[in-house]
C-alpha cells in the first residue's frame, strides 16, 4: 500500500470516529443523559431530554422524532398538557385556582402528521378575561406567587417508555413570576 493511501485511510477513520462521537454527544446531551431514541424539535432546535423555564408567547410546532425511525414499527405518540404549579388569581375579589382551568381548551392545540401545534400567543390576562367575560383590569394575581413553571407539555413514545417534557409559563405571567429579563421568548 502506498503512503498516500495509508494517510487517506487514516483520515477517513478519524473522520468517522469524530462523526460517531458527535452523533453520540448530540443524542446524549454531552454524555450527561441516556441516549435519546425519542425526542421532539421546535423549529431548528432538538429537545432531547426536556426544556424548562420557558416563556411561551407564540404558536409552536413541535415535531416528534424517533432517532432510528426507519427501524421503528410503531411511530405513534401521544401528549399531555397539564398544570404543574398551581396558583390563585382573583377576579373582583373572588379567588380561582389556575389548575381548575381546562388547559386543552384554553390553547389552540392541533395534532399534525408529524407533531403538535400549540398556540400560546394569547397572554394569561386575555385568556382569563375571555373565559370569565371580564375586563383584564379586574384580574389580579397576588405578588407573593413564587416563580416557577406553570404548564408542562409532555410527549410520550408509542410504548410509553420514553417522554420529553417542555415546561414554562405563558405571556403575561413573566413579570409577575419574576422571570429573568432576558427571558422574553421560549428558550430551548
Q: What percent of the chain has pLDDT over 90?
A: 0
Residues 16 and 101 in one domain: no
Assigned domain for 87 exists: yes
Report the number of distinct structural domains present in the chain. 2
Residues 18 and 111 in one domain: no
Residues 43 and 123 in one domain: yes
Residues 21 and 7 in one domain: yes
Residues 4 and 73 in one domain: no
Assigned domain for 180 exists: no
Residues 57 and 140 in one domain: yes
Identify which of 186, 185, 179, 124 has the alpha carbon closest to the alpha carbon of residue 146.
Answer: 179
Find all residues with CB under 8 Å of 83, minimum gap 6, and list them: 98, 99, 101, 103, 150, 151, 152
Q: What is the DSSP string of the chain?
A: --HHHHHHHHHHHHHHHHHHHHHHHHHTTTTTS---SEEEEETTEEESS-EEEEEE-SEEEEEEEETTTTT-S---EEEEEEESS--EEEETTEEEEGGGS-HHHHSEEEE-SSEEEEE--S-HHHHHHHHHT--GGGEE--TTPPP---EEEEEEETTSS-EEEEEEEETTSTTTTT--TT--S---
Residues 49 and 90 in one domain: yes
Tell me the per-residue pLDDT of 138-181, one tens digit each, with 9 for 90 and over.
888 776 665 678 888 898 888 777 788 888 887 777 666 654 44
Residues 65 and 85 in one domain: yes
Assigned domain for 176 exists: no
Assigned domain for 188 exists: no
Residues 80 and 130 in one domain: yes
Q: How confident is the model at residue 182 (pLDDT cuts 50, 70, 90)?
A: very low
Residues 6 and 51 in one domain: no
Assigned domain for 177 exists: no
| Full domain range(s) for residue 63 | 36-170
Assigned domain for 187 exists: no
Tell me the per-residue pLDDT of 98-114, one tens digit each, with 9 for 90 and over.
888 888 888 888 988 88
Which has more confidence, 131 or 74? 131
Find all residues with CB under 8 Å of 178, minimum gap 6, and list them: 147
Residues 42 and 14 in one domain: no
Q: Is the pTM of this model over 0.85?
A: no
Which has more confidence, 92 or 185? 92
Q: Is the distance from CB of 179 to CB of 169 less than 8 angstroms?
A: yes
What residue has cell string 429573568?
Answer: 180
Residues 50 and 166: their CA atoms lie apart, in Å, by: 5
Assigned domain for 2 exists: yes
Assigned domain for 183 exists: no
Residues 14 and 64 in one domain: no
Amino acid at each position: 500500500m502506498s503512503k498516500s493511501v495509508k494517510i487517506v485511510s487514516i483520515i477517513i477513520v478519524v473522520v468517522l470516529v469524530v462523526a460517531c462521537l458527535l452523533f453520540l454527544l448530540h443524542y446524549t446531551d454531552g454524555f450527561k443523559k441516556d441516549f435519546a431514541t425519542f425526542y421532539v424539535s421546535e423549529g431548528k432546535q432538538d429537545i432531547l431530554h426536556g426544556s424548562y423555564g420557558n416563556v411561551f408567547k407564540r404558536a409552536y410546532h413541535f415535531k416528534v422524532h424517533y432517532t432510528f425511525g426507519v427501524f421503528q414499527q410503531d411511530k405513534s405518540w401521544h401528549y399531555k398538557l397539564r398544570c404543574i404549579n398551581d396558583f390563585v388569581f382573583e377576579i373582583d375579589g373572588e379567588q380561582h385556582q389556575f389548575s381548575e382551568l381546562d388547559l386543552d381548551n384554553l390553547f389552540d392545540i392541533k395534532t399534525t402528521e408529524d407533531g403538535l401545534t400549540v398556540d400560546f400567543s394569547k397572554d394569561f390576562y386575555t385568556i382569563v378575561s375571555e373565559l370569565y367575560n371580564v375586563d383584564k383590569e379586574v384580574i389580579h394575581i397576588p405578588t407573593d406567587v413564587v416563580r416557577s413553571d406553570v404548564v408542562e407539555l409532555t410527549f410520550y413514545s408509542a410504548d410509553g417508555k420514553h417522554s420529553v417534557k417542555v415546561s414554562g409559563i405563558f405571556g403575561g405571567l413573566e413579570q409577575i413570576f419574576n422571570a429573568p429579563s432576558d427571558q422574553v421568548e421560549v428558550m430551548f
